[in-house]
């Protein structure tokens, strides 16, 4: 593994500090070159790693804004490493960079910031870094008053503002977020992590792929699924559908309902 000192001038301009993880040295070199060409936002390679062990060592030594992560690697693969990264106290955003598009569904279940296929184009890499930057800004927002009270939805060439009070839930669907109101659904480009950071006081996570409006919760109910068996789900005002609550989030949902 090679580790470089951070470029203070790049960081002063708000550069995204990146950890590059790939078992192929040529692939790491290619990403380093592309990252050096990024300007919107600028990026700096804080460290490189050839496997999951080296990556975790780097993450323990310094704080990164993003990890550009290959999926197919010897030993612990990128999907498993992404699980470990998400458990860190200050997890960086993960952007998968892979030649294998068939892992996209699993990747977005992990709520990664983006999914790039090799060979990576500069424009596409900059778009991914822009998502990372938006996520970082949301996490560092100091006051909830700064969060917008409406969502700007782009739909077939037209823009529509949806009041946040009308939103009942956000649900991750592959590369997009479904925004559900009592009347209809919208598609939003973004990430659940970003929305959760912006609107933590209004929405709570009930599953890795879903946030619900706290004010809209009507009941927590048992349900039965033919594949998963017995579980729990929430019912929201104005909707007939039930939203599944993961075992991991069940205790927090119960506490929120009882409060």
Tell me the backbone φ, ψ of residue 82, rounded to 5 degrees: -60, -35
Residues 203 and 247 in one domain: yes
122-139 and 25-37 helices, crossing angle to 10°:
70
Q: Any idea what the CATH number is for the domain that residue 248 is in?
A: 2.40.50.1020
In the prediction, which pLDDT does 104 show?
Answer: 56
Q: In what order do the strands lie in the sheet with 229-236?
A: 217-225, 229-236, 242-245
Question: Please, which pLDDT band fits residue 97 given cuts at 50, 70 and 90?
Answer: very high
What range defines the domain where residue 237 resides?
165-258
Residues 234 and 121 in one domain: no
Residues 81 and 195 in one domain: no
Residues 22 and 102 in one domain: yes
Residues 87 and 20 in one domain: yes
Q: Any idea what the CATH number is for the domain that residue 49 is in?
A: 3.40.50.2300
Residues 13 and 135 in one domain: yes
Give the total number of structural domains in the chain: 2
- Average pLDDT of the chain is 84
Q: Is residue 90 part of a domain?
A: yes
Residues 122 and 220 in one domain: no
- In the chain, beta strands by DSSP E: 16-21, 43-49, 66-69, 93-98, 114-117, 150-155, 158-163, 167-173, 176-181, 185-188, 203-207, 210-213, 217-225, 229-236, 242-245
Q: Is residue 155 part of a domain?
A: no
How far is Cα 176 from Cα 244, in angstroms, rounded to an integer?
Answer: 19
Question: Please, which pLDDT band fits residue 181 given cuts at 50, 70 and 90?
Answer: very high
Question: Please, which pLDDT band fits residue 5 given cuts at 50, 70 and 90?
Answer: very low
Residues 125 and 195 in one domain: no
How far is Cα 81 from Cα 154, in angstroms, rounded to an integer?
Answer: 34
């Amino acid at each position: 593994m090679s580790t470089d000192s951070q470029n203070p001038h790049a960081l002063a301009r708000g550069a995204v500090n990146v950890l590059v993880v790939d078992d192929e040295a040529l692939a790491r070199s290619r990403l380093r070159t592309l990252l050096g060409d990024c300007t919107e936002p600028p990026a700096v390679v804080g460290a490189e790693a050839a496997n999951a062990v080296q990556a975790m060592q780097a993450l323990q030594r310094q704080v990164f804004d993003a990890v550009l992560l290959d999926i197919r690697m010897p030993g612990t693969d990128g999907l498993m490493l992404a699980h470990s990264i998400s458990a860190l106290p200050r997890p960086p955003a993960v952007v998968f960079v892979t030649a294998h598009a068939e892992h996209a569904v699993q990747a977005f279940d992990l709520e990664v910031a983006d999914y790039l296929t090799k060979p990576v184009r500069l424009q596409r890499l900059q778009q991914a870094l822009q998502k990372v930057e938006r996520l970082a800004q949301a996490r560092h927002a100091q006051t909830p008053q700064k969060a917008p009270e409406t969502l700007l939805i782009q739909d077939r060439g037209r823009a529509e503002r949806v009041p946040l009070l009308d939103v009942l839930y956000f649900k991750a669907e592959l590369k997009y977020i479904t925004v559900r109101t009592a009347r209809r659904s919208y598609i939003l480009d973004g990430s659940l992590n970003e929305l959760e950071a912006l609107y933590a006081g209004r929405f709570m996570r009930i599953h890795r792929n879903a946030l619900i409006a706290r004010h809209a919760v009507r009941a927590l109910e048992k349900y039965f699924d033919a594949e998963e068996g017995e579980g729990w789900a929430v019912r929201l005002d104005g909707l007939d559908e039930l939203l599944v609550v993961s075992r991991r989030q069940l205790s927090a949902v119960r506490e929120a309902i009882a409060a």
